[in-house]
Amino acid sequence: MIGIIADDITGANDIGIMYAKANIRTHVYPMEACTGSDQNSGGEPDVLVLDTHSRLDTPDDAYTKVYQMTKRLQEAGCARFINKTCSVFRGNIGTEFDAMLDALDASFGIVVLGFPKNGRTTLNGIHYVHGKKLEESEFRNDPVHPMRCSNLVDILQSQTDRRVGLIPIHIVEQGASVLEEQIAVMKQSGFTYIILDVRDQQSLKTIAQAVQAEPIICGSSALAEELALLEKQNAVQTSVANKLPALGRSAVLCAAGSLMPQTAAQIAYAKKQGLTALELDSLLLFNPAEKEALCKQLVEQASRLLKDDKDVLIHASNSPLKVAATKVKGVELGYGNTEVSVIVSNALSDVIQSVVNVTGQQRLLIAGGETSAAVCDKLGIGGLSIWQEIEPGLPSCLTLQTPQRFLVLKSGSFGSEPFFIEAIEHLKQT
């Protein structure tokens, strides 16, 4: 098996689809439920992804989780490992990379963050998001991990005592053999982590050819797409049958907790297409009585619509003014941005859990990493089988437990404007 550690659930699915669409059986588990395959899973996976849900943890807690889960993957028989991070280096990047190396008693890891299909490129060590430097992109004002630096070497070096180096694009574009030689030279020179530039998909193809024998890869999911194709060529894989179970009514329950502009644009587009949207007013979540009344109303409205076979979206407040006011109110009550984010995600996931309990809903679209994790936890989802890709890095998946649920768990910053509408139509399949 290939063993993968991801720091959130949407990232776990994001890299999982890179292997699943190459017809390689891929399962995703939260770290608490990684003791074995479910009887409904159809056998042992070829790729095992564990979600540590550690992006918002302290560095020490993140280190412990990744170290322990890497050991578990090793015990499960994995021989190659990937540490999947956010595609813009949010989170405990250096700490988690170090934890994987320490657990494996290793001294080297390749780092590739570029994901051209989702607008992430790296040139001369500078990371870009849709053509803007990272520090000038929407991630500059991320409420939990504001990204104020674009140099990936500097970002990673600030989080690790190990030596970080860079192989620039002009070396990558000379081909796999030249790149492989340069990697060997830098290994001998004492670099522990080598970041590789990525201009486009051809860059990833070249890198994959050069590093396919490397036991440890770190970074975004994009390189895995090319590695999976090489894996498929080099080994006979078990055929993956794409067959859905019976899932009841075709209506889709959607929830969005992400504040990324991509998700806001997707919500606005879906509303214009006629999707009924209900707002979880974040300003009402600090008062217990107001929160209870609001959540009860949302559960009743959403349940009624679903029982009438109508799609419905419940989303956290996302207007800039209300988001700012929510942060101010949180500060007044002694909460930091991370704590406010958790309060909103938990309230939204509580509403979704109540709606599912009332309606038996089995088709869900969830936007935002924290919201997706909270919903999966509340619904007791212990494992996922990756099914089909809707857009780059955005798959659907089936739960491994019964009653089975058909899900799309979407990273807040991924996807085109029409994605919600596309995902809803995808989830309506029988």
Query: For the segment 1-49, what is each residue's pLDDT rounded down to a tens digit?
Result: 899 999 999 999 999 999 999 999 999 999 887 644 443 444 688 999 9
Stretch(es) of the chain classified as CATH 3.40.980.20: 253-427
- pTM flag (> 0.75): yes
For the chain, give the percent of residues with pLDDT over 70. Answer: 96
Please state which of the four CATH numbers 3.30.200.20, 1.10.3720.10, 3.40.1190.20, 3.40.980.20 is assigned to the domain occupying 253-427: 3.40.980.20
Stretch(es) of the chain classified as CATH 3.40.50.10840: 2-234
Query: For the segment 215-255, what is each residue's pLDDT rounded down to a tens digit?
Result: 999 999 999 999 999 987 765 545 455 678 888 889 999 99
Whole-number mean pLDDT of the chain?
93
Instruction: Write the DSSP string, 343-396.
Output: HHHHHHHHHHHHHHHHH---EEEEESHHHHHHHHHHTT---EEEEEEEETTEEE
User: What's the pLDDT at 44?
Assistant: 80
How far is Cα 7 from Cα 218, in angstroms, rounded to an integer? 12
Cα angle value 27/366/343 (rounded, 5°) = 110
**Helices and strands, number each (H, E), in the chain:** 14, 18
Specify the 3-state DSSP secondary structure of 111.
strand
As to burial, measured by CB atoms within 10 angstroms (0-12 exposed, 13-18 middle, 19+ buried), residue 8 is: buried
Query: For the segment 151-192, what is each residue's pLDDT rounded down to a tens digit?
Result: 999 999 999 999 999 999 999 999 999 999 999 999 999 999
- Domain topology for 2-234: Rossmann fold (3.40.50)
Closest CA to 20 of 2, 33, 5, 38: 2
Query: For the segment 259-304, what is each residue's pLDDT rounded down to a tens digit?
Result: 999 999 999 999 999 999 999 999 999 999 999 999 999 999 999 9
